[in-house]
Amino acid sequence: QAKANGKDNAQFFTVGMTERAQARLQMLGQLRHAAEQGQLHLHWQPRVRARDGSLAGVEGLLRWVHPEMGQVSPAQFIPLAEDSGLIVPMGDWVVEQACAQIARWRDAGWPSLSVSINLSARQLQGDELIDVVRDSMARHGVLPGELELELTESMVMVDAEANLQRLHALRALGVTLAIDDFGTGYSSLAYLNRFPIDKLKIDRSFVHDMLDDPTDRAITMAIIGLGHTLGLKVVAEGVELASEATVLRDAGCDELQGFLYARPMAADELAAWREARQPALS
């Protein structure tokens, strides 16, 4: 088909596409071995209770330290992993790492936390995930409520019946379920009734503009009200300002997460953060 556009054009496009495809392919090849070569890490970002600022849980966020490029953003490598299917074994690895970390924190005497990890649509497409979660939880003695999976709105819309059953199976294992980036996906809210969801995470775009933009503030308030009416916990992500935290707390938002409290950090940094915060709590 490209030939029909003329020889020169066809060559031009072929070269451009080849270069991009090769760069992607090369990155994918490196990403494929990143886990076994110790280049993948989970960083942990605190979620605090709005009421008293105490540590409610943490979100695990993947980090790839590339041998030459250094830190690669998840915005770059997660889509690559999703397109290639690599997200499935990579996501299994994340589940295992999260459960192992929960056990380490328990061994260190920390009170039980809710540790959330992000899930991609592909991971929910087979029954493998349920086995992986069950095995990892059992191996590390993870208790009900200690592992939370963050889903996106589109994941509960697509292929609804099969997904519904898988989410029920996960919940039966004691996993809690949160909708991430809430408010940015499909506008149908009907799924909130049908799916066994525990929590809504207000997308940080609303939180970010809330103080300046009455519409974003109204949306944020409406999500908190909707969540509570449905018996769900509501988390605000991307909280950067104390004034945002105040508004959210007054509105009854349950948990706050954002740079105001801490950036995502390695487990040892989190321990130091927690130590430094402890006196303020008691």
Footprint on this chain of Mg ion (rule: CB under 5 A): 118, 150, 180-181
And the tokens for 275?
């130590």
Residues within window 190-219 making contact with ligand C2E, judged by CB under 6 A: 204
When binding is defined by CB under 6 A, the residue of 238, 248, 254, 274 that contacts ligand C2E is 238
Q: CA 47 to CA 110: how far, in whole Å?
A: 15
Three-state SS at 232: coil
Nearer Cβ to ligand C2E (17/211): 211
Residue in the block written with tokens 């809210």: 189
Nearer Cβ to Mg ion (150/254): 150
Residue 55, burial from CB neighbour count under 10 angstroms (0-12, 13-18, 19+): buried
Give min distance, CB of 150 to ligand C2E, in A. Answer: 6
Does residue 57 touch ligand C2E according to CB under 6 A? no
Residue in the block written with tokens 């940015």: 184
Does residue 256 touch ligand C2E according to CB under 6 A? no
Q: Which residue's beta carbon is nearest to the bound ligand C2E?
A: 258
Nearer Cβ to Mg ion (27/94): 94
When binding is defined by CB under 6 A, the residue of 46, 57, 227, 264 that contacts ligand C2E is 264
Does residue 148 touch ligand C2E according to CB under 6 A? no
Q: What is the DSSP letter of 202?
A: E
When binding is defined by CB under 6 A, the residue of 33, 36, 52, 73 that contacts ligand C2E is 73
Residues 6+ apart with CB under 8 A from 3: 10
Q: Which does 74 bind (CB under 5 to 8 A by kind): Mg ion, ligand C2E, none?
A: ligand C2E
Residues 6+ apart with CB under 8 A from 178: 116, 148, 149, 150, 151, 197, 198, 199, 200, 201, 235
Using CB under 6 A as the criterion, what x/- string covers residues 74-113 for binding ligand C2E? xx--x------------x--x-------------------
Query: Do the beta carbons of residue 151 and residue 174 sit within 8 Å?
Result: no
- Within 10 angstroms of residue 42's Cβ, the number of other Cβ atoms is 21
| Residues in touch with ligand C2E (CB under 6 A) | 45, 61-62, 73-75, 78, 91, 94, 117-120, 150, 180-181, 204, 237-240, 258-259, 264
